[in-house]
Amino acid sequence: MSLTTRPFESRAPRLGSVKPFDGIRGVGVWCVVLQHAYAVADSLSGYIDLFFVLSGFLITTLIFEEQRAVGAVSLRNFYARRGIRLLPGLIVTLIVFFLPILAIRIMNPNPDTDYLFTNVVWESVTTFFYVHNIFFSPLLGSFQYMGQMWSLSLEEQFYLVGALTTYLCIKKGWIRQLAIGLTAVILFIWVARALGHGGPGQFWFQRPDAIAMGVLLAIINAVIPTELSPEVKRRLHPAAWIATIGMVIALLSSSKLIQALGGPYVPLYPTDVDIEAPPEGLSPTELKAYADNAIQAVLAQLPDGNYWVRWGFTLSTLCAAVIVFAFVRLRDDFALGRWLSGKTLCYFGVLSYAIYITHYQLFKLMDPGFQRGPKWIPIKLLAAYLVGAALHRWVEKPALRKYRQRFTHTPATTPK
C-alpha cells in the first residue's frame, strides 16, 4: 500500500490589493531616509523589520495563490518577475552613482580617492550580485557608500532560498513542518540577540528572523479558516492597536528627542567607541582599522547592558506581524489601515524602492560625513524624492509595463 502526499493548498481569502501595504511602505521609507539624512532616532531602523515581515508575507502568499489558481508554481516566472521589478532600477542606480566616484578619482588621483574608488567598485559588484551583507557589515554603514544595500541583499537571498524551499514544501505537503522549522529559527535568533550575541558575521542584526516571520505569518494565514469568526475579529482589533503602540515604542526608544526630554532612552548599542563618527584625519588604512576595532568593542560589550539591539528588532518584528495580519484580515474595519490607504502615502509607497536604493549614495555625495546638521534635512529629503521619482517614472514603470505580463501565470480555461 503506497501513501501519496497531496500538495498544500491555501485556505486564505484572495489577497488582492491591500492599500495599507503601500501606505506603510510610504511611511517607512521616509523614516529610513530621515534617519539617514540626520540621525534623529537610531531605533527607526526597526522599520526595516516591518519591511522584511511584509516582504516575506507577500512573496509567500503570492506563491500560495499561484499554486491554488493554476495547480503549480513556476519558479521561472517567479524569478523573472522579481528580476523585472528590481534589476532595471538597481542597474541604473549603480551606474549613475558610480560615475561621480570615477570622476573624483580621475580629477584628483591620490591614495584616498584610489581607496574610495576600489571600495565603491567592490560595493557595486556585491550589490549587483546581492551579497553586500556578506562582505560589508550592516553595523558599519556610515563607512560605506551604499550602506543601505545590505537589506536588499538579504531580501534577495530570501527570494532565492526561501521561495525554492516554499515551492518544495508545497509539492511535498510539508508546509506545517516548514512552519515548525521557521518558529524554531525565529525563537533561536530572538534568544541569541537578547543575550547580546550577534551571530556569524553579525547575521542576527541583519534580521533574517523578520523575513522568516513574514513567511510564517503567510502560512498561518493560509491554514486558518477562510473567514474569521466575529469573536476572533473582535479580539484582533485591540491586539493590532497594542502592536501599533509597541511598534512606536520600538521605533522611538533610541530617539535623541526622548533622551533630551529625559524619557526612557535606550542606547542602540555600546557607545564607548563611536562607530558613526570616527576621528577626523584618519588615512584609509587607519579608518579601516578603527572600524574593525569599533565593531569588535561593540560586540564585546553588548551582553553587559540594556541596549536596543538586544530587544528592539524582536519587538519590531513581533508587532509588525500582528499589524500586517490585521491589515489582511480586518481590511477597512481597522482604522489604521484606512488611514494608511490615503493617496499620498500610497504614492510614496509605490516610490519606496526607488527612493530607498538611491538616497544613501545621494546623501554621501551631498554630505560625505552626514554631519551638516538638521538644516540640511529638507534639502536632502527633497533631493531623495526627486531622484527616486525620476527613477520610478523613467526606468521602473517602462520595464514593468513592457515585460511583466510575459511572466504572469494565468489559469487555463476548462472546456465546456
Rounded distance, CA 190 to CA 412, Å? 44
> DSSP character for 145?
S
Q: What separation in angstroms does the CA of 22 have from each of 51, 293, 397?
A: 11, 40, 16
Residue 272 has a pLDDT of 60
Other CB atoms within a 10 A radius of the CB of residue 306 amount to 8
**Helices 111-128, 75-107: inter-axial angle, 10-degree rounding:** 170
Cβ-count burial 11-43 (b if 16+ within 10 Å, e if not): ebeebeebbbbbbbbbebbbbbbbbbbbbbbbb
| Percent of the chain residues past pLDDT 90, beyond the cut | 64
CB 141 within 8 A of CB 150: yes
Amino acid letter for position 276: E
Cell of 311: 530587544
Amino acid letter for position 149: M
Of 38, 7, 10, nearest to 380 (Cα)? 38
Q: Reduced to 3 states, what is the DSSP secondary structure of residue 255?
A: strand
CB 345 within 8 A of CB 2: no
Cβ-count burial 75-114 (b if 16+ within 10 Å, e if not): eeebebbbbbebebbbebbbeebbeebeebbeeeeeeebe
CB 159 within 8 A of CB 189: no
Q: How wide is the angle at C-alpha 57 spanned by C-alphas 64 and 216, nearest 5°?
A: 85
Residue 274 has a pLDDT of 63
Q: Sign (positive/negative) of CA torsion 279, 30, 269, 263?
A: positive
Strand partners, 255: 41
Torsion on CA atoms 122, 125, 131, 133, rounded to nearest 10? 40
Q: Structure pTM?
A: 0.92
CB 313 within 8 A of CB 207: yes
Other CB atoms within a 10 A radius of the CB of residue 239 amount to 13
Other CB atoms within a 10 A radius of the CB of residue 409 amount to 16
Q: What separation in angstroms does the CA of 256 have from each of 21, 43, 63, 98?
A: 28, 10, 42, 33
Q: How many CA atoms lie within 13 A of 281 on its CB side?
A: 0
CB 197 within 8 A of CB 303: yes
Rounded distance, CA 234 to CA 229, Å? 9
Rounded distance, CA 161 to CA 412, Å? 28
Rounded distance, CA 107 to CA 125, Å? 23
Q: Reduced to 3 states, what is the DSSP secondary structure of residue 41?
A: strand
CB 218 within 8 A of CB 2: no
Q: For the chain, first and last CA: distance in Å? A: 36
Residue 22 has a pLDDT of 96
Chain centre to alpha carbon of residue 11: 27
Rounded distance, CA 116 to CA 405, Å? 41
Low-confidence ranges of the chain (pLDDT < 50): 1-4, 411-416
